[in-house]
A and B are shown apart, each in its own frame.
Chain A
Amino acid sequence: MNLKPQRTDVLVVGAGPAGIAAAIAAATHGSKVLVLDDNAAEGGQIWRRDIATTLNPARPEVQDARQAALRAAFHKSGAELLPGRRVVDAPRPGILHTIADTPAGPMPESFAWDRLILATGARERFMPFPGWTLPGVVGAGGLQALVKGGYPVAGRRVIVAGTGPLLLAVAAHLRHYGARIVCIVEQAALSQLAPFAASLWSHPAKVKQGIRYRAALANVPYSIGWWPVAVEKASSGILVRLTNGKRTLAEPCDLLACGFHLVPNTELAELLGCKRNGDVVDVNEQQQTSVPGIFCAGEPTGIAGLDAALVQGEIAGLAAAGQTQHSSVLRRKRAKEHAFGQRLNTAFRLRPEVCSLSGPETIVCRCEDVNFAQLQGHDSWTEAKLQTRCGMGPCQGRICGPAVQSLFGWRTTSVRPPIFPVPIGAFGNNDSESLEDLTKFQETE
């Protein structure tokens, strides 16, 4: 198998807003830029392509002018997008290994970079509760992605629950596609949300967007200070039990779209040895991590939303292209969005009740079917992992890790390659030691 690395000045991992902004900045300042992404097209999750739009351009487009402009600038910039690839290993400084799933089987590739920009985005946080593994319970962003991918949601009764600004965006999108939104259920207390809302005066664009969502969701109940406690199968669809701590309601629906804000994707940064600050990747003024030549932008440096991702991406791209004297305008913008992110995370922090919804039988690790009772009594993530296999399935703790941190206070331990499962034999058996490590990976099923 030929694994001769493709060389580039700047390698960007992730083609969401931060990665796109970084790639444009670096490419327009003379760097050769390659951009890797796991998905089929650029846009990340927030700008994921909608097949309805692709199929029928006459359909009213959700895409805003800024998104269209950035996509156009990206395609003109000279940066090359390499979609459908997941990064699995960083065997030595300056090299990343990727896998692409192709109809002909998994295809390994290798990339050699001078500067690396990590724009790996975020995922939803899922909190276990009885019934959360039933078909019909989907992530909030998860259902939005499925609908963009052709799931016919028209006429379905949907409850959108959890926490975070994503809930409103998802509900508005689903309703646009004809879903019957039963209610939106936000766990944050009004006393947390009110100061956040009041602080938005300095972000008029975000206020406008909020007003647009509310208008799109006219007549849909928005229950603040409520949360889901259990889901059961019903004769038709599912039954979702909701509470505000005093009263409990049972609402029938077809789908529960449920997510509890976002968790930064820091696995690749950790594999590369970049220092974390709490749960996020530590970066300096240039968006450079603790490892020289490796930059990080967007949600992995702290959940702060689209505007933060764009400005951080631009700064990272400029810095990676050697333009370290970026303007004070960019720095001010970044500081403002960073402050917004901190207020966001305070407003939508989890209430303690949401961290104790599991019953003894509630599955926490979906890959290995490890339940809450099996995890009780262990002292650490490492011990629980060894005893129960929690976090050792193919998602490698990406879903149960943040849940376990909220449930037990355990922090996930060091990241080891491959950071995504590699089918046995994908790299053949004739390559370097690190590739031998890769092939040692055991599929779990």
Chain B
Amino acid sequence: MSEGVTATKTVTIWINGSASRVPSGSVVSAAMLAAGEPCRRSISGEPRTALCGMGICFECRAVVDGVTQQRTCQLVCREGMRVETQS
């Protein structure tokens, strides 16, 4: 393998339609922050990203594979997963 010993496994997920390749085991909210995409839009339309990182604040809710209200900080990226900003 040409990448040698530093190679780590990755998975590809789709964030608002764009492919993101992330280390396998990454949590979805971390991938969204890295991609610069908000997890949700608030009631007044503000973009929001993860705050607490531990499943308490619910700011990281997004649409995952068509299911709304998913706390993305408690969710690990799966190959081919489709994530959309929830509004």
The residues of A with any CB-CB pair to B shorter than 8 Å are: 38-40, 45, 51-52, 54-56, 58, 84, 86, 101, 103, 105, 123-124, 126, 133, 135-139, 141-147, 149-152, 265, 363, 366-369, 393-395, 398-399, 421, 423, 443, 445
Smallest CB-CB separation from A144: which chain B residue? B53
A373 to chain B, nearest CB (A): 14
A30 to chain B, nearest CB (A): 33
Known contacts A146-B33, A152-B34, A367-B58; A40/B51 CB under 8 A: no
A368 to chain B, nearest CB (A): 6
Q: List 12 A-B contacts (CB under 8 A).
A: A51-B23, A51-B25, A101-B70, A103-B65, A123-B52, A142-B50, A142-B53, A147-B30, A149-B26, A149-B53, A399-B56, A423-B69
Contact A38 B55 (CB under 8 A): yes
Instruction: Write out, one digit per residue, whether chain B residues 65-83 have a CB within 8 A of any chain A CB (1) or not (0).
Output: 1011111011111100000
Smallest CB-CB separation from B71: which chain A residue? A101
Known contacts A366-B59, A368-B43; A149/B52 CB under 8 A: no
Bound together, the chains give a CA A133 to CA B39 distance in angstroms of 13
Contact B43 A151 (CB under 8 A): no
Contact A146 B27 (CB under 8 A): yes
Known contacts A55-B24, A146-B30, A151-B30; A369/B42 CB under 8 A: yes
The residues of B with any CB-CB pair to A shorter than 8 Å are: 5, 8-9, 22-27, 29-31, 33-34, 38, 42-44, 46-59, 61, 65, 67-71, 73-78, 86
Given contacts A151-B26, A366-B42, A368-B43, 4 further A-B contacts (CB under 8 A): A38-B55, A143-B53, A145-B53, A369-B43
DSSP class of A's interface residues: helix, strand, loop or mixed? loop
Contact A55 B25 (CB under 8 A): yes
Q: Which residues of B contact A368 (CB under 8 A)?
A: 43
Bound together, the chains give a CA A387 to CA B30 distance in angstroms of 35
Bound together, the chains give a CA A399 to CA B51 distance in angstroms of 10
Q: Which residues of B contact A150 (CB under 8 A)?
A: 22-23, 25-27, 30-31, 34, 77
Q: Which residues of A contact B25 (CB under 8 A)?
A: 51, 54-55, 149-150
Q: Which residues of A contact B52 (CB under 8 A)?
A: 123-124, 139, 141-142, 145, 399
Contact A45 B58 (CB under 8 A): no
Q: Which residues of B contact A38 (CB under 8 A)?
A: 55, 74
Known contacts A55-B8, A146-B73, A151-B33; A133/B46 CB under 8 A: yes
Q: Which residues of A contact B68 (CB under 8 A)?
A: 445
B46 to chain A, nearest CB (A): 6
Q: Which residues of A contact B31 (CB under 8 A)?
A: 150-151
Bound together, the chains give a CA A398 to CA B52 distance in angstroms of 11
Contact B26 A133 (CB under 8 A): no
A259 to chain B, nearest CB (A): 9
B78 to chain A, nearest CB (A): 8
Contact A135 B55 (CB under 8 A): no
Smallest CB-CB separation from A370: which chain B residue? B43
Q: Which residues of B contact A139 (CB under 8 A)?
A: 51-53, 57
Bound together, the chains give a CA A149 to CA B52 distance in angstroms of 13
Going nearest first, the 6 A-B pairs with the smallest beta carbon separation are A150-B26, A145-B53, A149-B27, A142-B53, A51-B25, A151-B30
Contact B69 A443 (CB under 8 A): yes
Known contacts A135-B47, A139-B52, A149-B53; A395/B26 CB under 8 A: no
Bound together, the chains give a CA A423 to CA B70 distance in angstroms of 10
